[in-house]
Amino acid sequence: MKLLRNNIADMQGYVPGYQPPDVASWIKLNTNENPYPPSPAVREAILAEVGSDGAALRTYPSSSSQALREAAAELYGFDPSWIIMANGSDEVLNNLIRACAGEGEEVGFVHPSYSYYATLAEIQGATVRTFGFAEDGTIAGFPERYQGKIFFLTSPNSPLGTTFPLPYVEELAGRCAGLLVVDEAYADFADSNALELVRKCENVVVTRTFSKSYSLAGMRLGLAVARPEIVAALDKIRDHYNLDRLAQVACVAALKDQPYFAENCRKICATREWFSRELLALGYQVLPSQANFVFAAPPDRNGQRVYDALYREKILVRLLSDPLLSHGLRISIGTDQEMQRTVQVLKSIA
């Protein structure tokens, strides 16, 4: 229990000692949510499903989330048997570990990346092995043949925002004896993705979330694209009705409104580029981001000082206690107005 409590506190981006703020009135840039609402079609679909008396809610939803699988399959150019829908991509990450890694078996990932893999693996009794980055951005000491059951590659990386080049991802797939799971929670903000490798390499799985680019963190929606035999294994161990009715109609509506989605992503990337330039002008070290956040370090490399200053102005960003990361902050991209206010505060403490 202690492990879980610590992890949840850390995920929210609160520094121990602070009370969680009343975030509704704050500028909230700590968990990489989308600052814009989902497509208006999502609200309409949810209202239509609820209807005037909510009668549809009496009955169970589609167990297979078939309409979503079909909508996602069409969008990504796969057969629906290659898609599995999940109650947030965290669910599919968890089920991949449950399906592939038993007690004492190894799961690997890069550090720093998404710390939740370790929690999920530990709950399962699997062992965890982490690898750092080499100077050239590749993975330091990655074996010629990695024998772990799963290697999670977060691309774009969180909290860094950087991506791994596709040929390198393909090379890693060839070096993994088990699955290579490319966690693409942020890929919709990036110039490339690894979907084509799912077709090319039999051990590659790509996971996506609707929490970021589709503005649906509150609905808990994610998916994986993988070979049908992997999808079938994941289907066996998921909850029967893992997606509720409202999540299912919301997801289909969001997937079908691609023009809204594309414009939303475009705006966030444009704001990200503007914000990165402003930080550079203030002397910050800014990693080139392909996600909806940036990792940036102030000139004095004192992340805590900048975190505190922003906190006093009711701007919540993510300070990570890890010694590799505490010199900087991960800052989600909000609206233009929110980022202008953030820059204003950063200028006042420069």
Label residues 274-290 b or e (16+ Cβ within 10 Å = b): ebbebbeebebebbebb
Closest approach of ligand PLP to the CB of residue 312, in Å: 26
Of the residues 114, 146, 164, 214, which one makes contact with ligand PLP according to CB under 6 A: 114
Closest approach of ligand PLP to the CB of residue 24, in Å: 20
- Region of 293 (left: φ > 0; alpha: ψ -120 to 50; beta: rest) is beta
Q: Does 306 bind ligand PLP (CB under 6 A)?
A: no
Q: Collect contacts of 165-168 with beta carbons under 8 A, ≥24 apart.
A: 166/192, 166/194, 166/196, 166/197, 168/138
Nearer to ligand PLP, 319 or 346 (CB): 319
Closest approach of ligand PLP to the CB of residue 158, in Å: 4
Q: Distance between CA atoms of 346 and 325, rounded to whole angstroms? A: 19
Q: Does 332 bind ligand PLP (CB under 6 A)?
A: no
Q: What does R_g of the chain's alpha carbons equal in angstroms?
A: 20
Of the residues 49, 183, 257, 338, which one makes contact with ligand PLP according to CB under 6 A: 183
Nearer to ligand PLP, 61 or 88 (CB): 88
The secondary structure of 148-180, three-state, reads CCEEEEECCCCCCCCCCCHHHHHHHHHHECCEE
Residue 205 DSSP SS3:
strand
The partner residues of 179 in beta bridges, in order of sequence, read 150
**Among 84-92, 96-104, 142-150, 193-201, the segment contacting ligand PLP (CB under 6 A):** 84-92
CB-CB contact of 316 with 13 (8 Å) = yes
Closest approach of ligand PLP to the CB of residue 130, in Å: 15
Q: Does 293 bind ligand PLP (CB under 6 A)?
A: no
Q: Which of residues 31-50 bind ligand PLP (CB under 6 A)?
A: 32
Of the residues 61, 68, 69, 90, which one makes contact with ligand PLP according to CB under 6 A: 90
Q: Does 211 bind ligand PLP (CB under 6 A)?
A: yes
Q: Distance between CA atoms of 308 and 313, rounded to whole angstroms? A: 9
Closest approach of ligand PLP to the CB of residue 347, in Å: 29
Of the residues 30, 34, 39, 89, which one makes contact with ligand PLP according to CB under 6 A: 89
Interface with ligand PLP (CB under 6 A), residue total: 13
Label residues 154-164 b or e (16+ Cβ within 10 Å = b): bbbbbbbbbbb
36 burial level (CB within 10 Å; 0-12, 13-18, 19+)? middle
Q: Distance between CA atoms of 137 and 33, rounded to whole angstroms? A: 26
Q: Does 331 bind ligand PLP (CB under 6 A)?
A: no
Of the residues 39, 65, 119, 154, which one makes contact with ligand PLP according to CB under 6 A: 154
Closest approach of ligand PLP to the CB of residue 183, in Å: 5
Chain-centroid distance, C-alpha 97: 17
Of the residues 61, 112, 222, 298, which one makes contact with ligand PLP according to CB under 6 A: 222
Nearer to ligand PLP, 20 or 51 (CB): 20
- As a 3-state breakdown, the chain gives helix, strand, coil percent values, each rounded to 5, of 45, 15, 40
Closest approach of ligand PLP to the CB of residue 219, in Å: 10
State the residues that interact with ligand PLP by CB under 6 A.
32, 88-90, 114, 154, 158, 183, 185, 209, 211, 217, 222
